[in-house]
Amino acid sequence: MKFLLRHQLLLPKGKTPWSRAHEEWLDTLRFDRECEDIVFQEYRNCIQEAGQRISRYEKEMEKQAASSSQAPMIKALQALRGIALITATTLAAELGKIAGRFAHPGQLMSYAGLVPSEKSSGGSRWQGGITKAGNAHVRRVLIETAWSYRHSPAI
């Protein structure tokens, strides 16, 4: 996208970035110099290769999730709205055995850095935003999961 901006090429109105229509539009682009065409095609190849690599990783995660010692936990986590295979596998890998590791839900939230910050002095107490002093990967996954809980279920 930055390459296109450098060449004053903007996405046509009504097209969503990285949709089928956007990809078809990208197929029609040609540049004045051959070297620019080559660079543009190499950028597109990198994007396609990254997508293929992600697909391979996801397939391997499916295989591992079905046969690992964490398989029951991964399956149980997927019963929650907003948690699919990737998120469940990530949580299982990052947290391990939750029941034996965290005695109280507050400990899990502290581990993820999802507890409010606090400043206290004398009789005054002020609570601020989350501390972010924990496992950033778990925090990101849990926050994304919470975002999907905002919407009512489709089923």
Over residues 9-63, the pLDDT tens digits come to: 998 888 899 999 999 999 999 999 999 999 999 999 999 999 999 999 999 999 9
Give residue-wise pLDDT tens across range 89-121: 999 999 988 888 999 999 999 999 999 999 999
Tell me: pLDDT of 64 over 90: no
Where residue 10 falls (left for φ over 0; alpha for ψ -120 to 50; beta otherwise) is beta
Sign of CA dihedral 50, 53, 58, 64: negative
What one-character DSSP code corresponds to residue 78? Answer: T
Q: Which residues contact 137 (CB under 8 A, 6 or more apart)?
A: 90, 94
What is the signed CA dihedral for 100, 104, 110, 115, rounded to 10 degrees? 160
- Which stretches within 85-126 are classed as H helix? 85-95, 98-101, 105-112
pTM strictly above 0.85:
no
